[in-house]
């Protein structure tokens, strides 16, 4: 299986990267190919709502979204990796998701597998409610096949994350595919 991880953390060495790396390791050990796309440091502009794409491309904006589009449409699985920022995904990852509108039909017809990897400082039981609901709605709308979520409660620093069970959970999710 070909897996694309959309890395939505601007901190390349942060807690989200730890989960993504452990997921990648597990998936590769299971025989899958994994590519990580750093969406936070890519040239990606917000959707301008012009609808010139006709909701099935091409987008009038010439940025790195076309590369992401090609990689996702050639993949079997999309993994959304993001820190929890004010109870949602990072703005950088959300910008990529918003741009799905230019190839929504193609994504829908691919019926990709998907997963969510996220971390948060907060460890209250409701911490991930809004993000998990957004992810489940995205999965339902685009007809992804959800393979699971790793939600890292109390992972405010890389050290906290490394001492938690969540890197192993991410590894096991990747390995189980």
> What CATH number is associated with residue 22?
3.40.50.360
Task: For residue 42, give its domain range.
Answer: 2-175
Residue 44 has pLDDT above 90, yes or no: yes
Question: What is the per-residue pLDDT across 50-84, written as a single tens digit (0 to 9) for each?
Answer: 999 888 878 899 999 999 999 999 999 999 999 99
How many Å apart are CA 112 and CA 73, to the nearest integer? 9
Q: Structure tokens of 136?
A: 């489940």
CB atoms within 10 A of CB 56: 11
CA 71 to chain centroid: 13
Domains of the chain: total: 1
Q: Which whole-number Å values give the CA distances from 44 to 39, 59, 133, in the listed order?
A: 8, 12, 25
pLDDT, position 55: 86
User: pTM of the entire structure?
Assistant: 0.97
What pLDDT, in 10s, does the model give residues 123-163?
999 999 999 999 999 999 999 999 999 999 999 999 999 99
- Residue 23 clears pLDDT 80, i.e. is over it: yes
When pLDDT is cut at 50, 70 and 90, the band that residue 46 belongs to is: very high
């Amino acid at each position: 299986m070909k897996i694309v991880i959309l890395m939505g953390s601007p901190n390349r060495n942060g807690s989200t990267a730890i989960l993504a790396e452990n997921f990648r390791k597990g998936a590769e050990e299971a025989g899958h190919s994994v590519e990580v796309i750093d969406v936070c440091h890519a040239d990606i502009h917000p959707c301008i709502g012009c609808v010139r794409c006709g909701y099935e491309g091409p987008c009038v904006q010439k940025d790195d979204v076309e590369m992401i589009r090609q990689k996702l449409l050639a993949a079997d699985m999309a993994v959304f990796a993001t820190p929890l920022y004010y109870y949602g995904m990072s703005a950088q990852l959300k910008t990529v998701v918003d741009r799905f509108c230019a190839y929504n039909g193609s994504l829908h017809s691919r019926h990709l597998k998907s997963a969510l990897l996220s971390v948060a400082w907060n460890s209250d039981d409701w911490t991930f409610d809004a993000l998990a609901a957004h992810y489940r709605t995205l999965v339902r709308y685009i007809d992804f096949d959800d393979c699971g979520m790793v939600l890292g409660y109390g992972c405010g620093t890389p050290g906290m994350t490394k001492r938690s069970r969540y890197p192993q959970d991410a590894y096991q999710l990747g390995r189980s595919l």
